[in-house]
Amino acid sequence: MALHHLSDMTFEELEHFVRTNGESMQLSPADVVALHLHRQRRGYLSGRERPLWLHDSIKRGDERPSCHALRLLILGEETDAKLGLAALLLHGGGRPRHETLLLGLGPVEEEETESGGGDGNSRGDAALPRIEVLVPAVADVTASLRGELCIASDVVLLCFSVNEHATFDALRQRWWKDEVGRAFAVLAQDLAEAHHTTPWPATPVIVVGLAAEKRQALAGKNTIPVSHTEAVQLAQKMGASKYMEIFSDNLHHARSLVTQCMQVTNAFQQSLLKEVGAEALSFLTAAKQQMLRCHLRAPKPDGEIDSQAMQLRLQMTPGITYFMTFDGTDPRHHASPAQVPHDGVVDLRPYSKQPGTVLRICGMARCAYSSIVLEIEVPSILKPPSGYFDIAWRRFVLTKTPDDALCAHREVRYTLDGTQPTRASMLYTHPIELDVKSSANFPWGSWRSSVTPPRVIRLAAFAENEFTSPTVTYEVPAVLKTPQIEYSPQESTVFLNSMQPMVEYHYTLDGTMPTLTSPLYTGPFSLAADVTQQVRVVAFPRVFFPSREAVFYVPKVKTSGSGSGICGGDSNGTTAAALLHQQN
């Protein structure tokens, strides 16, 4: 159990202590929760703190908190029979035993009421309490938490299997003496040190014999089952309120057990009501409720979106299982929510194509209330940037689209070495100059730079809280080969060698830079040798517009008539062959 000097701290002091010394003291998560529960209870007993829900109920004039629950704590060896009972009590069966424990206690009731949800454990009659079944793990590291739950629950169910005598012996020594008995001793010490009139009686105990149907099956065999008589004697020695035996997977027996728990609780409350009054009873109910719902709760999921990888990365807490929905429903109430992968990485690409998709995630754990739901709007994918090569000015220009105004924070990054653009790549702010030595005053000039242009330009759009656009790759047009000028001194003529197709060659004889308005080379030409001192030639590409669209209608195969063949064409009787001939 928790140390008293820690339990008398304030909430903030205890939080600071755990952060500072938790690792050195080797405090498990269960130990930390137990410390908070112990601190809270001692705060209530000393009068330093009051349950918030009690204050609200008094303001409304209620005799007890409006949201009450019957909390049943199941203790005993981790047998299949015990897990089966927990599954029946939690969800009426129909689920795998371990999955039932994984889902925990569900959401805190106030949140459930607000959302209009509920599970199979909730009851429609407002006069009946909600049944909450606490099934803590049996490992030694959770012993301190189990002790606190003994004090904070409404009924302790000490379970053993009738057909396994070892579980009965463990119940006698470990679960009663070492666990429940020690917890009640700590409670008595807290009450003695509190010097306050606030009552906090020990929790009623019911001893439950599980798999009772197997007692007859073991008759005449070497295995000796636990007899009804010795079980009753142990229950009486413990001071238990009742002893019950139930069959495995028997929903009727499980419901009878709940009824007995309600009767024991009602008798306990009536006795307390006569002894200390309604206000003290209301205080105890509110105190237990607030303690557990404040501290016995899975932590809220935490994570961040990796826009580059289009993934959600959750920080996974050991012992917590995370569930998610993408359809807008609450994962705490969804019939079959998807489980977050164990590495905490969720691929968001399948959901990014649906604008407005909201991912809802909650954490669930054994013997804990569901966490607060984390809502993350799945970012949309930015549209890829588009542009064109300006042949006249020898640069790449990004085109503007109407979407640019809708995403003012969008920025385009690019690379020239063929690598994938990232947020650290070059930012597009003006057209990308490919001929770095070109003149801004003379379009269509020759290629000036000695540096070979990049092979490709790769671009991607980036924005905060949005997914990176697909990367687009533009192949940079090659620089035309430098014309090869040949001169025949005998004939004083000039001609070009190795001319390229789809290229026009323009030349000048006065030493100026050839342009598209310069004379077009059509063949060898003569020079006035005493006048002409140099010939300059530049190769210019013939630029084309895109072609018109070609359409071909797939011919249909005749399925009736005396002949067979292909029939195609349009409504004017043009055959498929003729249409294909026209388009070619």
pLDDT in tens, the chain (584 residues): 445 566 678 788 888 888 888 777 888 888 889 999 999 898 888 888 888 765 555 455 554 444 467 899 999 999 999 999 988 887 665 555 556 677 778 787 655 544 444 444 544 444 557 888 999 989 888 899 999 999 999 999 999 999 999 999 999 999 999 999 999 999 998 888 887 667 899 999 999 999 999 887 766 667 788 999 999 999 999 999 999 999 998 999 999 999 999 999 999 999 988 988 888 888 888 899 888 988 999 999 999 988 878 899 999 888 899 999 988 888 888 777 889 999 999 998 888 777 778 999 999 988 899 999 999 988 888 889 999 999 888 899 999 876 665 566 789 999 999 999 999 999 999 999 998 777 666 777 788 888 888 999 999 999 888 888 899 999 999 899 999 999 988 888 999 998 999 999 999 998 888 888 899 999 999 988 677 789 999 999 887 777 877 887 888 877 655 444 444 444 444 443 333 344 44
- Residue 526 pairs in a beta bridge with 493
Q: Which two tokens stand for residue 328?
A: 């807008």
Coil, strand or helix: which one is 458? strand
The verdict on 565 and 510 lying in the same domain is no
d(CA 189, CA 148): 14
Q: Which of 264, 292, 320 is the last residue of a domain?
A: 292
**Domain shared by 471 and 491, yes or no:** no
Position 559 scores a pLDDT of 66
CA geometry: angle 171, 177, 182, nearest 5 deg? 135
Domain end position, chosen among 377, 402, 422: 377
Q: 78 and 207 share a domain?
A: yes
Q: Does residue 87 sit in the same domain as residue 110?
A: yes
Note the pLDDT of residue 120: 43
Residue 414 lies in a domain: yes
What is the distance of C-alpha 554 from the center of its chain? 47
- CB pairs under 8 A, 24+ apart, for 354-361? 354/378, 355/380, 357/326, 358/326, 358/328, 359/312, 359/324, 359/325, 359/326, 360/324, 360/325, 360/326, 360/328, 360/329, 360/330, 360/331, 361/301, 361/303, 361/314, 361/322, 361/323, 361/324, 361/331
> Could you tell me if residue 457 is inside a domain?
yes
Question: What is the model's pLDDT at position 573?
Answer: 43
CB atoms under 10 Å from CB of 174, counted, come to 16
Which uninterrupted H or E stretch holds 44?
A: helix 29-46
Q: Is residue 11 in a domain? A: yes
Please indicate, yes or no, whether residues 310 and 195 belong to a single structural domain of this protein: no
Nearest alpha carbon to residue 268 among 348, 218, 200, 366: 200
Report whether 160 contacts 209 (CB < 8 A). yes
Domain that holds residue 49: 4-117+132-292
pLDDT, residue 445, reads 76
Element (H, E) at 18: helix 11-21
Give the angle 320-323-325 at the CA atoms, nearest 5°.
160
The residue among 450, 475, 500 that closes a domain is 475
Count of structural domains within the chain? 5
Give dist(CA 147, CA 180) in Å, integer: 7
Residues in the chain: 584
Domain identity same for 338 and 267: no
Give the global pTM: 0.70
Contact between 312 and 346 under an 8 Å Cβ cutoff? The reply is: yes
Measured CA to CA, the distance from residue 128 to residue 115 in angstroms comes to 20
Shared domain for 242 and 286, answered yes or no, is yes
> Closest Cα to residue 366, out of 132, 29, 82, 101?
101
Q: Which of 140, 162, 174, 171 is nearest to 213 (CA)?
A: 162
Residue 127 lies in a domain: no
Residues 346 and 469 in one domain: no
Q: Are residues 534 and 434 in the same domain?
A: no
pLDDT, residue 571, reads 40
Distances (CA, A) of 467 to 301, 399, 409: 22, 20, 13
CATH number at residue 251: 3.40.50.300
The verdict on residue 317 lying in a domain is yes
Tell me how far apart the alpha carbons of residues 565 and 574 are, in angstroms, rounded to a whole number. Answer: 16
In-domain check, residue 125 = no
Q: What is the pLDDT of residue 121?
A: 52
Same-domain pairing of 54 and 168? yes
pLDDT for position 223: 76
Residue 417 and residue 270 share a domain: no
Residue 420 lies in a domain: yes
* Co-location of 146 and 194 in the same domain: yes
